[in-house]
Structures are given as C-alpha cells and as structure tokens.
Amino acid sequence: MDNVQIIRIQILAVIGSVLLIFFILELIRRRRLREEFSILWLAMGVVFLVLSLFRGLLDKFSYFIGIGYPPAALFLILIMGLMLILIHFSTAISELKETQKKLVQEIGLLKAGGAHSPAAPALRAYGLPGGPKAG
C-alpha cells in the first residue's frame, strides 16, 4: 500500500466520522433523537474520529491489548460499541414495557371505577354490588 492510498483512506475515515457526529447532532437538534440515546453514538463517532486522525493510535492500541492485526482491533472496538448501544436499547425497551403495563392497568382500573375512581365513594354510598369496600 503506497502513501497516497493510506492518506486517501484516512481522509475518508475522517469525513465519515465527522458526518456521523453531525448526523447525530442534527437528529438531536430536530428532536428526533433524545440526548440520552445520542451519547453512545456520539462517543463512537468521536472514537473513530480520533482513531482516523492519529493513525499510530490504532497500532499502539492493538499492540497494547495483544492483537497482531490492527484492523481486527478496529472491529473489536466497533463491535463492543454496538453491543453497548444494543444493551442500552434492551434496557430502554424493558423500561418502556414496564411503564406501558402500569399505564394499561391504571386505565383499566380507572375505567372500571375502582377505588381509584372519583366516583368510588358515591358507588359505595349507594351500595352498588361489586363496588370495592372501604379498606
């Protein structure tokens, strides 16, 4: 690989990383992405930007952790980053499911006019059958 080729891929990598960062920032600006979800993406963009600006860094890193072939270290970083983001998604979805379940339960109870309902004391006063009793 001659020098021209290396510089070409370096320029492409820098452009790619900068585009990713700007794309994420733009999504936040348009309120299509919440900040909490953007941080991991931005961190990945910054890591790639730094790695493409300072070429020696990837070699040093792969030597440091004992990988003989530097591009493999790049894949490792990429896969770890994506896994972090996906686990973050899983926890976020779990939270959403929990919230949704509670809302569905609450709506059901409110519609049924349980003890939650503003009408509950009146129902009890009229002794309507099936109405909840005072605790």
Interface with other proteins by CB under 8 A: which residues? 97-98, 100-101, 104-105, 107-109, 111-112, 114-116, 129-135
CB of 98 to other proteins, least distance (A): 7
Q: Are 21 and 49 in contact (CB under 8 A)?
A: yes
Residue 82 or residue 104: which is nearer to other proteins going by CB? Answer: 104
Residue 10 or residue 117: which is nearer to other proteins going by CB? Answer: 117
Non-local (6+) Cβ contacts of 17 within 8 A are: 45, 46, 48, 49, 52
Residue 9 or residue 104: which is nearer to other proteins going by CB? Answer: 104
Q: Are 47 and 21 in contact (CB under 8 A)?
A: no
CB of 40 to other proteins, least distance (A): 24
DSSP tag of 1: -
Residue whose pair of structure tokens reads 């409110």 in the numeric block: 110
- Report residue 132 as tokens: 């909840």
Residue 15 or residue 107: which is nearer to other proteins going by CB? Answer: 107
CA distance 33 to 7: 34
CB of 110 to other proteins, least distance (A): 10
CB of 81 to other proteins, least distance (A): 27
